Structure 1
Amino acid sequence: MTRLSSLLLPTERQPPADAEALSHQLMVRAGLVRQIGAGLWSWLPAGWRVHQKIVQIVREEMDAIGGQEMLMPVLLPAELWKRSGRYDTVGAELMRLRDRKDADMVLAMTHEEAVTFHVAQVVKSYRELPKVLYHFQTKERDEPRPRAGVLRTREFVMKDAYSFDRDQAGLEETYEHHRGAYARIYDRCGLEWVECRSDVGMMGGTMAHEYMAPCAAGEDDVVIAGAYSANLEIASADAQPVELPAPLDAPVRVETPGARTIEAVSSLLGIPHGAQMKSFPVVAGEDRFLLVLVRGDHQISETKLRNHLGAPWRPATEEEIRERLGPPGSLGPVGAQVDVLLDRAVRDDDGASYTTGANEEGVHLQGVRPGRDFGFTRGDVREVVLGDTVDGVPVRIEPAIEIGNIFQLGTRYSEPLGATYLDPDGKQQPVVMGCYGIGPARIAAASVEQFADERGIAWPKAIAPWDVELVSLGKAGSPEREAADALYAELQEAGIEVVYDDRDGGAGAKFADAELLGCPLRLTLGRRSLESGRLEAQGRRGQVDHEEGVPVAGAAEAVQELWATLP
């Protein structure tokens, strides 16, 4: 029985003072979630119904591709994470603790180590592969800046799946099965979404995709151009051309007193930002010093540079810069006795003519041409910007919420954790792995962000807490209330998920709560309904009033037909 007179649904007129994201505001106001501490949220009954509907959609699609559901513990021995190497590399976000026997433990943020441990014990032969194992489990993450309600938290439920194949070809086939399943999941949940190539990050492996829901609250930026999409961290595009000065036979020194920035040099010399080369001295690994060059109107992508170098990097210190190059503010590659990495957007043909620092205070060089005036290696290490193109299509950059990710892990975990099998020739081979994550809470929040209006939430039908909200405008004991009680029972008997506002109170407050909660269809039964024999019906999306309403007699069948037509 789901009556608002007894349901725990603490709606609020005002959002929390610290709520910036729309989903944070509305999910609290609608009584779906409540905060218990920084980054720690409780899902109240209506919110949990949404969460679990998403879980069921995910479960059905995972089962459809051969996934086997299991459950692994949140608390894990740290030894497994030490064997994989992640105990030391993940950093402070991994929650570490010791039990009463002084053994190191972790609260899992993902379960690669745990599931690989089990497979290493159980799987022995190629005949036992492939396998896909998954679970829905609480994850713990010591998030430094919890924010945006349920979007960035320290504890959350995630569906994480893990695939185990004989070889790379098998992994690629399984990976494609998951791509198809994820597309069906997001479509069924009613989201607007894009699939993007992404960085493998701390997970390791050789390939990754993430699934993004474009919306204003997104913390990631997605680059989209036609069929192309990628996270801004790793996106590649053709740079917008820039008009360069006439080429010179050799670099020419020019006095630039006080001009220590791209903007200042452009203003002083009357050249566009893109006609300069911006110099970034960095140290890769422990001690590899190099100078990274991008166009003056571009910025380095930290992720792309790390991936290109194959090692972590940091900006060089001022002391290191002065020792190896010259004064910061006028750095350049000509005459520099260091390795130079040139972004691919910088031209090196006969028409190339750039301005760079001269490694002297207050002096720059004009007419610099890569290759002729300095040696270099190439790399795509810049961030994509508006004006760039992919296959001739201009890019657009949109904020988005990450709602899932998948990785080709290869043998990243199977080798250190000893997950091997015997092939048909009796030779031992490492299992080849993939992993696949989805956050139901993020799907719920993204849905709120994408479809809410000024009145409240407007859920997609598949994940709404209830299909229908029935509002009674009669007081207890009135004919209207008795008719509404009977209708509520009829709708339930027909299998329609209905929440019944049977509270005493004014119509305005009831309608406001219904719009805030966002069920796809609202039915209203009052005095006019009894007089006309028809219920008032309104679709939540777009506040669409169905002028003919729904007949009171035989209402259940008519409601089902009307509900099926809703967007």
Structure 2
Amino acid sequence: MRWSRTFIPTLREDPAEAEAASHKLLLRAGYVRQLTAGHYSLLPLAMRVRAKIIEVVRSEMDWIGAQEMLLRALHPAEPWRRSGRWDLMGQEMFRLRDRRGADLALGMTHEEIFASVARELNSYKRLPQRWYQFQTKFRDEPRPKAGLMRTREFTMKDAYSFDIDPAGLDSAFDAFHGAYTRIFDRLGLPALAVEASSGTMGGAGSTEFMCPSEAGEDTVLTSPCGYAANIEKATSRLAPSEDGPGLPAPEPFDTPGVRTIEDLLAYDAPGDRQIKTLVHLLDGTLTLVLLRGDHPLNEQKLADATGANTLQAATADEIHEALGALPGSLGAVGVQDIPIIADEALRGRRAMFTGANRDDVHLRGVDIERDIPVTTWADLREVRAGEPCPRCGEPLEATRAIEIGHIFKLGDRYSRALGAEVLDPDGRQTPLIMGSYGIGIERAMAALIEVHHDDRGIVWPVAVAPFQVTVVVAQSGDEETAQAAEKLYEDLTAAGVEVIIDDRPERAGVKFRDAELTGIPYRLTVGTRGLAEGTIEITRRATGETEKIPFAEAVKHVQTLLT
């Protein structure tokens, strides 16, 4: 390839709209251009990187026996309605109607569609099956941001396993877990496997692969023993509470002007002895959510615990109508006919403080088991850094991270809904046991840049770089130099090296800057002074180190560096 004929529209300055390093550099280095919010056009260099990422992923999928398919991106509503996700996905799903008035959607994911194909398996003898594809996904993100990290249109490698029983799913899950570990290692992406929420996917459990980065939108909690969990799933070991005998019954006391947990501290009510009462609408049902006063709610945990599709904080009017008081004086003592879900940290607590459901009045001496009719107990609180690890007791550390992969144990949720069944060894119809496994291709590209960049630009690992080598003609107007560079370029190409020659009529400094900005691992500089000595310069992008090597040995030297 020739730089002069390749579309690489580099920019001198960081675009004003970009904040994340990967977003800035993808724009500045001429890899992408924004079409509209959340939609990016991939230019030639990006396409080359994308192809290399895909090839690494494809080779590992093939290695574990997965078969590549390509299912459609435009879906009829019917399979989504059968699984219950047509409504569950809400506004994030792009929907449309065809000329006959049929409801359609642009695929966010493909569990329903792959389950529909799996209906043809018929017998357990055709199991296990592992299928995958590279397909465009569409999600109407409310706040697309950070370039390729959160977009409305992106490429995903999604894979699906089909087995006759949970043991088969466990085997498939382990195989994909191993494949993902190898993929990220080959790409040069540090990846931490963590416990995670399954969210709208459902199923028995899931594991996220997280790349530590300050640009990440997720928080991962880890400890030295190897425990690692997304904040939506993390737990910690709480110190046992010493409550004492408490009071025979809750005792009301006046608390004028008290509206917050902090306000109540003045009444000898420490946060760990307060019951915080939140009021939410879960799928439209008004529900009381109870936590310890000093513990924050994690809404994903609440959704996971209740199976609610929609969570919404109740308004002041809705709260007053249900409980007779405004926020700040709320409690669950004596409440009837309203579901109450309480965090496990409150189980068995006595001598607690809570609102009395009368404005400016609270209760002391509350015994949870005696005084509050809890409907459901669940882990609802959000764990914070420094709390003891649930396994080893050491303080948990919090790390920002980018989700680069997610694998799920789905069970029979989709197969049962879509009628994907086979005859088992006893001749009975049995729903398939499914797993789902995803990697965002463009997000992996962005994560690589977040990990591999410096103040001069991108620093691609060789495995994914758009070109392995750039040959720079230092003096384009000198015919001897240009001819020598052309010969080197041709010899490298013949040797199988992925090389681009910068033959533009530009100053050497401009070419050096663009080579660094675009992140090509090795730069070979052919100049008049070096040719007079029979040498060329080779510069490693990762370190900036430059050395002179004999011109005649350049190809062999490069081959050695790339092996």
Q: Which amino acid aligns with 1:277?
A: I
Q: Is 2:211 the counterpart of 1:213?
A: yes
The Cα shift of 1:368 comes to: 4.1
* 8 A contact 2:199–2:304 mirrored in 1: no
Deviation at 1:320, TM superposition (A): 4.2
Give the equivalent residue in structure 2 for 1:483: 484
**Closer, same or farther: CA 225–30 of 1 in aligned 2, 3 Å:** same
Distance in 1 between the 2:508 and 2:445 partners? 28
Alignment partner of 2:400: what SS?
strand
**Counterpart residue number, 1:540:** 541
Tell me which moved more, 320-329 or 50-59: 320-329
- 1:224 and 2:222 aligned: yes
Q: Which residue of 2 aligns with 1:439?
A: 440
The aligned counterpart of 2:21 is 22
Equivalent residue of 2:403, what SS?
strand
C-alpha contact (below 8 Å) 2:475/2:508 kept by paired residues: no
> 1:128 is matched with which residue?
126
User: Contact 1:244/1:353 (CA < 8 Å) preserved in 2?
Assistant: no
2:44 aligned residue: 45
Q: Where does residue 473 of structure 1 map in the other structure?
A: 474
Q: Distance in 2 between matches of 1:76 and 1:306?
A: 27
Matched AA of 1:298: H
Matches of 2:156 and 2:320 in 1, distance apart? Answer: 49
Contact 2:272/2:293, CA 8 A, preserved across alignment: yes
What is the aligned counterpart of 1:311 among 301, 308, 311? 308
- RMSD of the alignment, in Å? 2.4
Matched, 1:62 2:55: no
Aligned to 2:118: 119
Contact 2:221/2:385 (CA < 8 Å) preserved in 1?
no
**Alignment correspondent of 1:427:** 428
Between the aligned partners of 1:310 and 1:77, the Cα distance in structure 2 is 25
- Shift of residue 282 of structure 1? 3.2
Q: Which residue of 1 aligns with 2:404?
A: 403
Task: Give how far 1:214 is off.
Answer: 1.8
- Residue matched to 1:343: 343
Residue 394 of structure 1 aligns to a residue whose secondary structure is coil
* Per-residue deviation, 1:286: 4.8
The match for 1:260 is 259
Same amino acid, percent of matched pairs: 48
Alpha-carbon offset, residue 293 of structure 1? 2.1
Contact kept, 8 Å, 2:331 with 2:356, in 1: the verdict is yes
State the SS of the aligned residue for 2:132.
strand
Q: Does 1:296 align with 2:263?
A: no
Q: Secondary structure at the match of 1:110?
A: coil
User: How many Å separate the matches in 2 of 1:534 and 1:459?
Assistant: 26
Letter in 1 for 2:534: G
Contact 1:234–1:301 (8 Å) recurs in 2: no
CA contact (8 A) 1:472 1:526 kept: yes
1:554 is paired with a residue whose SS is helix
Deviations 1:279-326 (A, max 9, x none): 113344554x54322222221111111222233444344344334434
Q: How many residues align?
A: 555
Contact 2:247 2:366 in 1 (8 A): no
Which one of 143, 156, 162 corresponds to residue 154 of structure 2? 156
Secondary structure in structure 2 of the residue aligned to 1:263: helix
Q: Where has structure 1 moved over 6 Å in runs of 4 or more? A: 242-247
User: CA separation in 2, counterparts of 1:449 and 1:488?
Assistant: 31
Stretch deviating more after TM superposition (84-93 or 479-488):
84-93
Indicate the SS of the match to 1:386. coil
Give CA-to-partner distance per residue, 1:78-112, whole Å, 9 cap, x none.
Answer: 22323333223212222222223333322222222
TM-score of the superposed pair, with normalisation by structure 1: 0.91
| Alpha-carbon spacing, 1:423–1:245, altered in 2? closer, same or farther (3 Å) | closer
Deviation at 1:372, TM superposition (A): 5.3
For 1:342 and 1:88, locate their aligned partners in 2 and report how far apart those are by CA, in whole Å.
27
Do the aligned residues in 2 keep the contact of 1:242 with 1:275 (CA within 8 Å)? no
Q: Report the Cα offset of residue 188 of structure 1.
A: 0.6
Distance in 2 of aligned mates of 1:13 and 1:552: 32
Q: Which residue of structure 1 aligns with residue 71 of structure 2?
A: 72
Following superposition, the deviation at residue 276 of structure 1 comes to 2.7
8 Å CA contact 1:71–1:136 kept in 2: the answer is yes
Q: 1:244 to 1:257 in 2, by over 3 A?
A: farther
Q: What are the Cα deviations for residues 203-238 of structure 1, in whole angstroms up to 9, with x where unaligned? A: 222222222212122122222223122221222122
Distance 1:355 1:114 in 2: 51
The one-letter code sitting in structure 2 at the alignment partner of 1:396 is E
TM-score of the pair, normalised by structure 2: 0.92
2:358 matched residue in structure 1 = 360
SS of equivalent to 1:341: strand
- Contact map agreement 1:196 1:229 (CA 8 A) in 2: yes
Shift of 1:64: 0.3
User: CA contact under 8 A between 1:551 and 1:558: conserved in structure 2?
Assistant: no
**TM superposition shift of 1:272:** 4.5
Q: What residue identity is the alignment partner of 1:522?
A: R
Alpha-carbon distance between aligned partners in 2 of 1:414 and 1:246, rounded to the nearest angstrom: 52
* Structure 2: distance between partners of 1:290 and 1:102: 38
Match of 1:416 in 2: 417
Partner SS state of residue 359, structure 1? strand
* 2:473 partner letter: S
Amino acid at match of 2:131: L
* Structure 1 position 550 matched with structure 2 position 539: no
Distance 1:402 1:367 in 2: 45
Mean alpha-carbon deviation: is it higher for 12-21 or for 363-372?
Answer: 363-372
Name the structure 1 match of 2:3: 4
**Structure 2 partner of 1:499:** 500
Larger deviation: 43-52 or 142-151?
Answer: 142-151
Q: Distance in 1 between matches of 2:260 and 2:107?
A: 45
* Contact 2:149 2:443 survives alignment (8 Å): yes
Segments of 5+ residues of structure 2 without an aligned counterpart are: none
User: How far 1:504 moved relative to its partner?
Assistant: 1.9
Indicate conservation of the 8 Å contact 1:244/1:354, yes or no: no
**8 Å contact 1:280–1:293 — kept in the other structure?**
yes
Match of 2:102 in 1: 103
1:325-372 CA-to-partner distances (Å, cap 9, x unmatched) read: 3422112344444554332234746xx654322333223334544335
Cα gap change, 1:480 to 1:270, in 2 (>3 Å)? farther
Shift of 1:39: 1.7
What is the one-letter code of the residue matched to 1:137? Answer: Q
For structure 1, which segment, 257-266 or 162-171, has the greater mean C-alpha deviation from structure 2 after superposition?
A: 257-266
2:198 maps to which of 185, 197, 200: 200
Question: Partner residue of 1:276?
Answer: 274
